[in-house]
Structure 1
Amino acid sequence: MTQHLAGVDVLFVAGFGPVTRSSAVSTAFYRDALGLPLKAMEGNDDYLLSEHDALGGVKHFALWPLAQAALSCFGSEQWPSDLPEPQGWIEFEVRDIQAATCTLEAQGYRLLVAEREESWGQTVTRLLSPEGLLTGVTFTPWLREA
Structure 2
Amino acid sequence: MDIKCIAGFATITRAPAESAALYRDTLGLPLQQQDDYLFMDRFPGANHFGVWPLAMAAQTCFGQEQWPGHLPEPTSTIEFELENPAAVETAVEEMKAKGQVFIHEARLEPWGQTTARFISPEGVLIGLSHTPWLHG
Identity among equivalent pairs (%): 48
Match of 1:3 in 2: none
4+ residue stretches of structure 1 with deviation over 6 A?
none
Unaligned residue ranges in structure 1 (runs of 5+): 1-7
Match of 1:80 in 2: 68
Match of 1:49 in 2: 39
* Residues 64-75 of structure 1 mapped to structure 2, 5 A cutoff: 64-75=52-63
Give the alignment partner of residue 90 of structure 1, picking from 78, 91, 112: 78
Task: With the length of structure 1 as denominator, give the TM-score of the two structures.
Answer: 0.87
Match of 1:33 in 2: 26
1:94 is displaced (CA, Å) by 2.0
Q: Which one has the largest radius of gyration?
A: 1
1:68 is displaced (CA, Å) by 0.3
Match of 1:5 in 2: none
Cα displacement string for residues 39-60 of structure 1 (whole angstroms, at most 9, x for unaligned residues): 102xx1x201103x2x201000
1:139 is displaced (CA, Å) by 1.0
SS in 1 for 2:103: strand
| Equivalent residue pairs, number | 133
Measure, in 1, the Cα distance between the counterparts of 2:107 and 2:56. Answer: 16
Match of 2:93 in 1: 102
Task: With the length of structure 2 as denominator, give the TM-score of the two structures.
Answer: 0.93
Cα displacement string for residues 36-82 of structure 1 (whole angstroms, at most 9, x for unaligned residues): 111102xx1x201103x2x2010000011000000000000000011
* Higher relative contact order (Cα pairs below 8 Å, separated by 6+ residues): 2
**AA in 1 matched with 2:115:** V
- Give the RMSD, CA atoms, in angstroms: 1.0
* Residues 102-141 of structure 1 mapped to structure 2, 5 A cutoff: 102-141=93-132
